[in-house]
Homo-oligomer: A and B are copies of this chain.
Amino acid sequence: MTKDRPIDLAALDAHWRAANYLSAGQIYLMSNPLLTEPLAPEHIKPRLLGHWGTSPGLNLVHTHLNRLIKDRELDAVCIWGPGHGGPAVLANSWLDGSYSQVYPDVGRDAAGMAELFRQFSFPGGVPSHVAPETPGSIHEGGELGYSLAHAYGAAFDNPGLLVTCVIGDGEAETGPLAASWHANKFLDPVHDGAVLPILHLNGYKIANPTVLSRIPEAELDSLLTGYGYEPLHVTGSDPDKVHHSMARAMDHALERIAECKRSKGRPRWPMIVLRTPKGWTGPAEVDGLPVEGTWRAHQVPLANVRENPEHLRQLEAWLRSYRPDELFDAEGRPADQVLACVPRGELRLGANPHANGGLLTRALPVPPLEHFAVPVDKPGATLHEPTRVLGGLLAQVMADSAEHRNFRVVGPDETESNRLGALFEVTGKAWQAEVLKTDEHLSSDGRVMEILSEHVCQGWLEGYNLTGRHGLFSCYEAFVHIVDSMVNQHIKWLKTARQLPWRAPVPSLNYLLTSHVWRQDHNGFSHQDPGFVDHVLNKSPDVVRVYLPPDANTLLSVADHVLRSRDYVNVIVAGKQPCFDWLTLEEARAHCARGAGIWEWAGTEDGTREPDVVLACAGDVPTQEVLAAAALLRSHLPDLAVRVVNIVDLAKLLPHEEHPHGMADLEYDALFTRDQPVIFAYHGYPWLIHRLAYRRAGHANLHVRGYKESGTTTTPFDMVVRNDLDRYRLVMDVIDRVPGLATRAASIRQTMADSRTRHHAWIREHGTDLPEIADWTWTG
């Protein structure tokens, strides 16, 4: 161990006191920020909002990180898991000047301090949590559980970066956080940065003790050692002693990290367990009940300051206990001692460019699609597995990004199963634990990340994206619901960040949902759910994009687009099973650029007749069934004018006013007509199409088929029959909906119904689909 570095305890304490003062000030004060006059009710905010309990602990960590960064010129960011302690992080970024840099109206002086206080949790002001508006942040601590996964995501492929991560003992009870500890088995000491978790045990959540604070310390150490860390303890309530102990622990952690970076084999990374009182330095008792050190300190310790003179008195005593006159000069500027530990420029935690990752984003080298496209002489003559074709493109992107290491593919153990195995020709799967001879593709520096936790995959990718790098999450469609709430939060983040001029756009979060509802016939009902699309479409249209490419070349074109995009959440739903090739690459590009279009070759378009019926489709399996239905109609009802419309970009169906991709009504009507029957075969829940298109002129004639929760272990075609999405049913729908056909085509309708009956009998006997289905090809 190297010689102990000097610690200026008085300076650290001054910075910490200043941050504590500013934190409490934000919660309480409307004016009189420097307490230049005696505190009066009119100085107090009318609504007291904010979380005090965690703030002193966050301030302690920030103060000591400042010292560490300044002393060593460290490139470091911090993930504030208890992000509801917004006042603390805001206080610190005001102190280091980064706040005033992006918000010049909140200067580092008395007027700025007054505005810092006033705007906090105030209408038109800033949120009470760490949020996109907070400089230096890539993590909102509202919905707990994701801090540690974000931290690892930020550290991957940033070998010079230290990512500290404060984990509250409340958050530590969540599943995603509990799973994230094991991310250290995926962190490469050579190509990745370091993660320093700081588990902050302040003992209480909103109303309850926390589990990890109430098990014996030896048991906690056993747990953390079992997670693969070396815990360093900092415990206490005496500020001087804690400062000393914290500084030493941080120095020690940095030395251990340096050793880990040099070590061979899987290192044991250090972490800090910080045990300090909740609401530390705040009121010890209020109205005769203990507050400091208890759950009562979680939010606003003194609740009735405006009305209750004793509360007002206590607040003034509390604020003055930090000795603000020593901390700020008469103009409200922080004293030199306060700023002694604060680093400069981009080393400040509030100004590190990794926390505004768009600044560092380097465009992905997406190669020409021509190298990967499948040849299509005529529609439907050949079959390819779309995701396998995509795998070729992704492998090339992976190879071409080897130098800058700014692309990763994550997934819960499904990359190979999702037919993206070409990636393993150019990179491995990240893995630091034991390797056996029977393993394949594991490597310490691989950029495919597989852990059986969708939460951790999502958290990694969010952290990677928000620090400016690119990625793709490939997931079974049904199980992406596991991260519903995480994607909610990420979309909210992006929506807000897009409105902040100082935040540079970051790479989009890209999902490839495959092993989808129609081809989980072997895994059954539990694996059949197409509702993620519905879920994301509730969110901000500025951020959300949904694509359903119907074949291999359209998937390539969509992937090309999303890998270049910024600030979106892109959801691609595409199958991995053999699928007919419908479009050449050129046609695919044109179709994807439009987002929705008429497939003339599939219908009876001759440029003269209006269609009698429109067959619309979105998704690979619905497209196949619609084309099969179109072929049946052509042979059984050759005089019927049939139009086939395919939708790749689902938001095209929305009104233009509701989504930037939405079609104008004229455009919509040109595809779907204003008054002819539309039979729409959709990949997911049919009512979603109604929810998107209900304002359109032709809506009353829109009849949608899709998945309606009829699933089990069965054959692929039986899945579509069970959900009334099959070609025979679609033809029956046409006959039922086109005026005049019901009688004229009654026998054809019966033929279709008979085919369905034959299907049922056949699969019960043979367990496979009818030969006419299994061998079907398009003969347009």
A interface with B by C-beta (< 8 Å): 30, 45-47, 49, 84, 121-129, 131, 140, 142-145, 170-171, 173-182, 185, 205-211, 214-215, 219-228, 290, 293-295, 413-417, 429, 431, 433-436, 438-440, 442, 450-456, 478-479, 481-482, 484-485, 488-489, 492, 495-496, 522-527, 529, 531, 534-535, 538-540, 685, 687-688, 690-691, 694, 699, 709, 712-715, 718, 763-764, 766-768
Question: Is the Cβ of A215 less than 8 Å from the Cβ of B433?
Answer: yes
Is the beta-carbon distance between A46 and B767 smaller than 8 angstroms? yes
B-side contacts of A209, CB under 8 Å: 431, 433-436, 439, 442
Q: Output the residue of A214, A228, A452, A522 with the most chain B CB within 10 A.
A: A452
- CB pair B208–A478 under 8 Å, yes or no, is no
Complex contacts, A126 vs chain B, CB 8 Å:
713
Asked if A205 and B481 sit within 8 Å, CB to CB, the answer is no
A-B residue pairs, 7 tightest by C-beta? A223-B226, A142-B526, A175-B175, A178-B178, A481-B485, A222-B226, A214-B433
Per a CB cutoff under 8 Å, which of B123, B482, B690 touches A485?
Answer: B482
Closest CB in chain B relative to A502 CB, distance in Å: 18
- Asked if A481 meets B484 with Cβ closer than 8 Å, knowing A121-B713, A526-B489, the reply is yes
Q: How far is it, in angstroms, between the C-alpha of A176 and the C-alpha of B205 when the chains are bound? A: 19
By a CB distance below 8 angstroms, the chain B residues around A484 are 481-482, 484-485, 535
- CA gap between A540 and B708 in the complex, in Å: 8
A768→B143 contact, CB < 8 A: no
> How far apart sit A208 and B440, CA to CA, in the bound complex (Å)?
8
Q: Is the CB of A208 within 8 A of B450?
A: yes
Q: Which residue of B lies closest to A711 (CB)?
A: B492
Contact in complex: A124, B763 (CB < 8 Å): yes
A713 / chain B contacts, CB cutoff of 8 Å: 49, 121-122, 125-129
Point out the residue from B479, B488, B718 that lies within 8 Å of A123, measured CB to CB: B718
User: How long is the Cα–Cα vector from A495 to B456 in the complex, in angstroms?
Assistant: 30
A207–B415 touching, CB < 8 Å: yes
Distance to closest chain B CB from A599 (angstroms): 27
Chain B residues within an 8 Å CB radius of A485: 478-479, 481-482, 484
CB distance from A469 to the nearest CB of B (A): 23
**Beta-carbon contact of B123 and A525 below 8 Å:** no
Which residues of B have CB within 8 Å of A496? 525
20 A–B contact pairs at CB < 8 A? A47-B715, A123-B714, A123-B763, A124-B714, A128-B523, A129-B524, A173-B456, A174-B175, A175-B180, A185-B211, A208-B450, A209-B435, A209-B439, A210-B452, A222-B225, A223-B223, A478-B488, A484-B535, A488-B529, A538-B687
A290 and B437 alpha carbons, distance in the complex (Å)? 10
Q: How far is the CA of A442 from the CA of B208 in the complex (A)?
A: 8
Q: Which residues of B contact A129 (CB under 8 A)?
A: 523-524, 526, 713
Residue of B whose beta carbon sits closest to that of A178? B178
CB < 8 Å neighbour of A455 from B127, B175, B293, B440: B175
Q: How far is the CA of A294 from the CA of B415 in the complex (A)?
A: 17
Interchain CB contact under 8 A, A522 and B121: yes
Q: Are the C-beta atoms of B123 and A764 separated by less than 8 Å? A: yes
Nearest-CB distance from A410 to chain B (Å)? 13
Nearest B residue to A707, CB-CB: B538
Given contacts A123-B715, A690-B690, contact A208 B481 (CB under 8 A): no
Q: Let me know if A526 and B143 touch, CB within 8 A.
A: yes
Q: What residue of chain B has the Cβ atom nearest to residue A482's Cβ?
A: B485
Chain B residues near A525 (CB, 8 Å)? 127, 131, 142, 492, 496
- B413 & A207 in contact (Cβ 8 Å cutoff): yes
Q: How far is B144's CA from A452's CA once the two chains are assembled, in angstroms?
A: 9
Min distance, Cβ A175 to any Cβ of chain B, angstroms:
3
User: When chains A and B are docked, how far (Å) is the Cα of A7 from the Cα of B538?
Assistant: 60
Instruction: Give which listed residue, B173, B181, B434, contacts A453 with CB less than 8 A.
Output: B173
- Residue of B46, B124, B489, B523 near A764 (CB, 8 A) is B124
Q: How far is the CA of A378 from the CA of B450 in the complex (A)?
A: 61
A523 to B128, CA, bound (A): 6
- Whole-angstrom distance between the alpha carbons of A373 and B87 in the complex? 41
CA distance A699 to B320 in the complex (A): 62
User: Given A121-B713, A223-B227: A413 and B206 within 8 A (CB)?
Assistant: yes
Asked if residues B226 and A219 are in contact (CB atoms below 8 Å), the reply is yes
CB distance from A260 to the nearest CB of B (A): 16
Chain B residue at minimum C-beta to C-beta distance from A133: B712
Which residue of B has the minimal Cβ distance to A126? B713
Complex interface: chain B residues within 8 A of A171 (CB): 452
Residues of B within 8 A of A205 (CB): 413, 452
- Chain B residues whose C-beta falls within 8 Å of the C-beta of A170 in the assembled complex: 413, 452
Q: Which residues of B contact A440 (CB under 8 A)?
A: 207
Contact B766–A46 (Cβ < 8 Å): yes
Chain B's nearest CB lies how many Å from the CB of A374?
25
| A531 to B523 Cα, complex, angstroms | 28
Given A225-B219, A524-B127, A122 and B479 touching (CB < 8 A)?
Answer: no
Q: How far is the CB of A81 from chain B (nearest CB, A)?
A: 12
Chain B residue contacts of A294, Cβ below 8 A:
438
* Given A206-B414, A538-B534, also A145-B433 (CB < 8 A): no
Contact B176 A175 (CB under 8 A): yes
On chain B, the residues within 8 Å of A712 by CB distance are: 127
Contacts A46-B766, A178-B181 given; 11 further ones with Cβ under 8 A? A123-B715, A145-B482, A173-B456, A174-B453, A179-B179, A185-B215, A208-B439, A208-B442, A209-B433, A215-B434, A223-B225
Most B-side CB within 10 Å, residue of A489, A524, A685, A714: A524
Task: State in angstroms the CA–CA spacing of A181 and B454 once bound together.
Answer: 19
Verify A526–B492 contact, CB threshold 8 A. Answer: yes
**Closest Cβ of chain B: how far from A499's Cβ, in Å?**
11
Q: How far is the CB of A415 from chain B (nearest CB, A)?
A: 7
Q: Please determine whether B215 and A220 come into contact, CB atoms closer than 8 angstroms.
A: no
Residues in chain B near residue A221, CB distance under 8 A: 226
| Min C-beta distance of A305 to chain B, whole Å | 14
Among A181, A206, A208, find the residue whose CB has the most chain B CB atoms closer than 10 A: A208
Check B685 against A694 for contact (C-beta < 8 Å): no
CA distance A770 to B145 in the complex (A): 37
Does the CB pair A179–B174 fall under 8 Å? yes
When distances are taken between beta carbons in the complex, the residues of chain B under 8 Å from A225 are: 219, 222-223, 226
Choose from B452, B709, B764 the contact partner of A174 (Cβ within 8 Å). Answer: B452
Cβ of A31 to closest chain B Cβ, rounded Å: 12
Distance between Cα atoms of A171 and B480 in the complex (Å): 16
- Which B residues are in CB contact (< 8 Å) with A481? 484-485, 488
Q: Tell me which of A182, A226, A417 has the highest count of chain B C-beta atoms within 10 A of its own C-beta.
A: A226
Find chain B residues with CB under 8 A from A207 CB.
413-417, 440, 450
Given A122-B767, A488-B529: A524 touches B142 (CB 8 Å cut-off): yes
| Chain B residues positioned under 8 Å from A442 (CB to CB) | 208-209
List the B side residues contacting A49 at CB < 8 Å: 522, 713
Q: Which of B46, B47, B173 contacts A182 (CB 8 A)?
A: B173
For A215, the chain B residues whose CB sits under 8 A away are: 185, 228, 433-434
